[in-house]
A = this chain, B = another copy of it.
Amino acid sequence: MGNAPIGHTRWAIADGYIPAWSHGPEPEMTSHEGLCILNAGDRDVEVRITLYFTDREPAGPYMVRVGARRTNHVRMNLLKDPEPVPLGTPYSSVVEADGPVVVQLTRLDSRQAENALLTTIAFAG
């Protein structure tokens, strides 16, 4: 690529929800959300994730680094700092990066015997 790396520096996802229980072998089938961040550029990118809730002030920022020419599929249920992401609780995310990235959210829901999946490219704005 001779031109600028693909992406945008601010993204939002309105629907976040980590199901509170799971069926099937861990860790593949544990209910989770993956916030997937691609950095196709040639320098490392620092990412700030802020979480919004229904009835309290936002949590964060959660700081994540994505190396040059790397992807980081952040498991939201593993974030601990500054606080864990509550299970079974509706939330939204805003992702801000100091370089262009591409963001997508995927959820695996294994609350019932068979898993269900959803995904969407985030909103770039």
Which chain A residues have a beta carbon within 8 Å of chain B's beta carbons?
A: 1, 6-8, 10-15, 17, 19, 24, 28-29, 34, 36-40, 50, 52-55, 57-58, 69-73, 88, 90-92, 94, 96, 100-104, 106-125
Protomer copies:
4
User: CB-CB < 8 A to A19: which residues of B?
Assistant: 28
Known pairs A52-B38, A104-B15; A114 contacts B114 (CB<8 A): yes
Chain B nearest Cβ from A42, distance in angstroms = 11
Known pairs A38-B92, A57-B69; A117 contacts B123 (CB<8 A): no
User: CB-CB < 8 A to A118: which residues of B?
Assistant: 106, 117-119
Q: How far, in angstroms, from A91 to B102 measured CA to CA in the complex? A: 12
